[in-house]
Chains A and B, each alone.
Chain A
């Protein structure tokens, strides 16, 4: 069989698959009205792009690229359908709905386009074509909510644009991609691209959620025993490196905290992580990396200076700390979701500090999470 014939068959297959998917997606509305509607527009647009590409009778290389694009789109659609079903049957306990509403709020505040949807999935993942954010199940409930912002970070990295001029000609620059591309040669890809994006997503999640993201990572996700190893598939940098960028962002936030309440919490987290690493026989800092080290400083600068990122930056930690007090004495400024999550962590730490009984700690954790979830919903409703 000729290569052209193979391409033609696969082209036909992709087009059929897109047709079927386009028929099925509206039916998602039966499971979740808002979800089906949100993806249908995006899917139709992407499918039209693929079809229009085929209609232009492209050369074999372009055809192969279009086929890959179509297959990715169908693959993301299948994942979406599974996720939508899981969400429709409340397998995620409503966490992804909450995450979607939060990310929409962040987009509204920053002027960054909205993500497609957030759905439950076996792993955390962001589908860049459909702009679907997958949220890992089983979930750690409210405590895991900041992970949605990490995934949002992948979306922001590809979507954040700066408009400027080069030699008098208007140009659009993707600042995150720009930082990555100016740092390395093609030979350094894809590691630089993968790890760079993960580091940026970590930095953004921390900059938006304060200590809530780092607390979650250090308690639930980052194993000190393997702290200096990249992930098995090579896509994620080591936990030690990821922790370092998060703590650096937190240091930045603490420096801006006029009430001085964050500095102590960051110092405590840094010390706890250092102790856990030492207990696991691991060095406290990641080894030097000529590619990744300079990127961290550039991302910190971008987060500090970019107006859109500044607009959703975590601030006024005092509101979170006051929320965690047993009774709020003053009508504080309107809290954000991040404030509520930080307040929940403060309350959790206080409850844990004075409690040795594991069962009681579990009950306290559940109680605090339930209260915080109600507050998050209230904040989103008020907004």
Chain B
């Protein structure tokens, strides 16, 4: 079977995850190392204090005997006290970090608690013996959300992960990504992304975005935009009219417009199932057509993004064939008006869309050189910094700019892995390093001062 990019990417991800599972003991130990170390701190400090007490006792006796020795010992005591203070400050910082890791996600993300509380209270007050069976499904859905949320938060807080980043750290990057959508009809994203076994489209009801297990890596983070696009689409009521375009395709067009090649790479190379492309109306085929069509339509011929879109199209078609799908069905999907209708709907709405007579130049077109340079540095093994967000857009809030910066980095990391031309692809042995450096840069970026948020919008969905 000829090798294709989709297959090689998924094989690499699967192998990495299997390695992760094989190294479970190490992972658990790593998780415990940090906490053990921290939890042992009070005992260590008590011992240090006991030693200081002994010294003070000795000094009291020396005070009237030998002034010179007394002063010398007093100086040493002062140094010991300074060292202990320094150690305590360090521990204090660790405690802050641990507190953030363990408790921040839920405290800061009011939408979740508000939704759960509001929904639970509402159901509780409405529930009667007469309507129990009618309300049962609604209750179960809420319980599922609740359990998923708790499980996700527990996972995020558990400090699992690899030696470079914990799951919690990775998901803290994910939390910041939806901000790129800005405020939607007065509402802004204040919710949470949690790890789960399988990503579910229904997740947007509770404003908890889920990322499925095989993709708890930097490579899959752009996929999250599909879920957020559903939220955006629903809030903007984009699927109105007699014959609205398919909601999922509109979400794909929106996510591609906002996230660009990183979304296309992540979704095509990690998510969509090429073997499911069996007829022109199959979901996978139409979604691939929407993503690739959007990417291609919104870049100029000859531009690197346009060249990359053409390459991804070839790679996807090869993957469909290799996986036992129907390449002719995919070709028919590429020609379908379903995706172009979805793109039209999305494009008319999204302010970031390129061309189409918009008054402002598109951010992506201007920032692509930076993305390309970042990708080069990542490929060459250099350390990078997340670039500042586009300063020209006065409408952008701080959180939106920060998120935009992260998306630039996600594009750079994918571009370092998959270039417009195959000869520029990263060698398999370099991929982990590229991801590691990019994650480190994104975490550094998030450690800066928190963005100023504009006033919170309504916190419940319905």
Contact = CB atoms under 8 A, between A and B. Distances in A.
A326 B392 contact: yes
B388 A329 contact: yes
Contact of A264 (B300, B366, B373): B300
Interface string B345-384: 0000000000000111100011111101110110000001
Contacts of A329: 370, 385, 387-388
A288 B81 CA distance: 90
B387 A264 contact: no
B300 A324 contact: no
A264 B301 contact: yes
A375 B39 CA distance: 56
A187 interface: no
Interface stretch (A48-56, A151-159, A253-261): A253-261
A13 interface: no
B420 interface: yes
A326 B372 contact: no
A327 B302 contact: no
A354 B302 contact: no
A266 B366 contact: no
Given A259-B376, A260-B307, A354 B361 contact: yes
A266 B301 CA distance: 10
Interface in A327-344: 327, 329-330, 332
Contacts of B306: 264
Given A264-B306, A330-B385, A354 B366 contact: no
Chain A interface size, under 10 / 10 to 19 / 20 to 34 / 35 or more:
20 to 34
Contact of B360 (A259, A260, A261, A354): A354
A322 interface: yes
B302 A263 contact: yes
A267 B373 contact: no
Interface string B288-302: 000000000000111
Nearest to A262: B302
Nearest to B366: A325
Contact of B304 (A264, A266, A322, A325): A264
Interface in B293-327: 300-304, 306-307
B373 A318 contact: yes
A258 B373 contact: no
Nearest to A320: B369
B301 A267 contact: yes
A278 B74 CA distance: 93
Given A259-B372, A326-B390, A268 B366 contact: no
B89 interface: no
A321 B372 CA distance: 11
Contact of B388 (A324, A327, A353): A327
B391 interface: yes
Nearest to A332: B373
Contact of B302 (A266, A322, A325): A266
B75 interface: no
A324 B369 CA distance: 9
Contacts of B369: 259, 261, 318, 321-322, 324-325
B424 interface: yes
A326 to B, nearest CB: 4
Contacts of B421: 260
B372 A261 contact: yes
Q: Name, among A261, A324, A325, the residue most crowded by chain B CB atoms within 10 Å (CB to CB).
A: A325
Given A258-B424, A264-B306, A325 B367 contact: yes
7 contacts: A259-B372, A260-B421, A261-B369, A263-B303, A325-B367, A325-B369, A354-B361
